[in-house]
Homo-oligomer: A and B are copies of this chain.
Amino acid sequence: MTRLDVAILGATGAVGQRFIQLLENHPWFRVAELVGHSSAGKAYGDTVKWILDDNPPLHLWDQKVLPLDAPLQSPLVFSALPKEAALQREPELAAAGHIVCTNASAYRMAEDVPLLLADINAAHVALIEVQRQRRGWTTGALIANSNCTVMPVVMALAPLKPFGIRKVHVVSEQAISGAGYPGVPSLDIIDNIIPFVSQDEEEKVEIEARKMLGDFSGSGIAELDAVTGATCTRVPVIDGHIVNISLELAARPALADILRAWEEFTAPAQVAALPSSPLRPLQYLPQADRPQPRRDRLAGKGMMTSIGRLRECPILGYKFAALAHNTIRGAAGSSIQNAELLAVAGYIPSFQPAKAAVLA
């Protein structure tokens, strides 16, 4: 099977690097084009300040970085652009026929853009039809993945939807990699925490959660009808966001019912078979002091969400902690999984994964 060429927008940034790392040895996709802004025209290996482990892949070292407005050959485009650049460039590329899977926040809340976390809302993919009709796009499309903090929230809540989610109170403890590079100065965070992440982080968690947990109705997404409130803090952790969740559920289930709902939760078969999908989308850890970012962030190669400490909350009824890897499951990894879903769903005409891979 010939692998599909993909382009990375914002290839030298923190999330761009994660895209490149995760796509090394990807069975379906092959990094063909690197797009940057200040680094355009230079060899990737010379211009990138590589912040992940090890070094950039050798075979990309000498590849020239393209300018942001360069026409692209790759049918599939992953975007790790900053919001302002994304606002302009992403719809241009979709209009030009590219499938754009974006990690940027620019269009997440647009009515006709799916905010996908494939394991829990794969049905939202169908919103692409609405998008194409409204915007006049033919082969192109724009699909977003969520903010990295809301991600473990919705993954943990999705299995509980049958109990009637009424109120969701979130306090996050977020890793520094969520701020990109250079990001958080070490003078601000060693022997310290910062009780603030950014101007709109808390609002993002609140509104994106309702959209992601909503239902696709044929013409749009009906948001989950629940009250959501978030407090976001920064802690001296490299990777892995923890969310401390308190929860009101209409059905007042027993704790054991909630545990069972998590245990029995699986992604749709088509999603579970994708190359980037973990064996199970979530795991419950019975130890009193888990999940922990350093020890649990790489569960399922960084694609599994870990939950722990389920207990009663005197205020809202239930509480627990959830953890996910913010730059893998919460960013590049989910974008790639989204693209895989689009491929098996037939949205990338130039590429058809092998039958076996798709799970009949």
Asked whether, in the complex, the Cβ of B187 is within 8 Å of the Cβ of A288, the reply is no
| Docked CA distance A206–B242 (Å) | 23
The total of chain A residues at the interface (CB under 8 A) is 63
Contacts of A285 in B (CB 8 A): 55
Asked whether, in the complex, the Cβ of B288 is within 8 Å of the Cβ of A196, the reply is yes
| Docked CA distance A290–B51 (Å) | 12
Which parts of A252-311 form the interface with B (CB within 8 Å)?
285, 288-296, 298-299, 308-309
Interchain CB contact (< 8 A) of A182 among B182, B233, B290, B308:
B182
Contacts of A292 in B (CB 8 A): 192-195
Interchain CB contact (< 8 A) of A184 among B186, B295, B308, B314:
B186
Asked whether, in the complex, the Cβ of A182 is within 8 Å of the Cβ of B181, the reply is no
Interface check A189, CB cutoff 8 A: yes
Asked whether, in the complex, the Cβ of B236 is within 8 Å of the Cβ of A195, the reply is no
Interface check A53, CB cutoff 8 A: yes
Q: Which residues of A are in contact with B by a Cβ distance under 8 Å?
A: 14, 51-55, 167-169, 171, 173, 176-177, 181-196, 199, 206, 227-229, 231, 233, 235-238, 242, 244, 246, 285, 288-296, 298-299, 308-309, 313-316, 319, 321
Given A169-B169, A169-B316, A193-B292, 7 further pairs, Cβ under 8 A? A169-B315, A176-B186, A192-B295, A193-B235, A193-B293, A195-B291, A195-B292
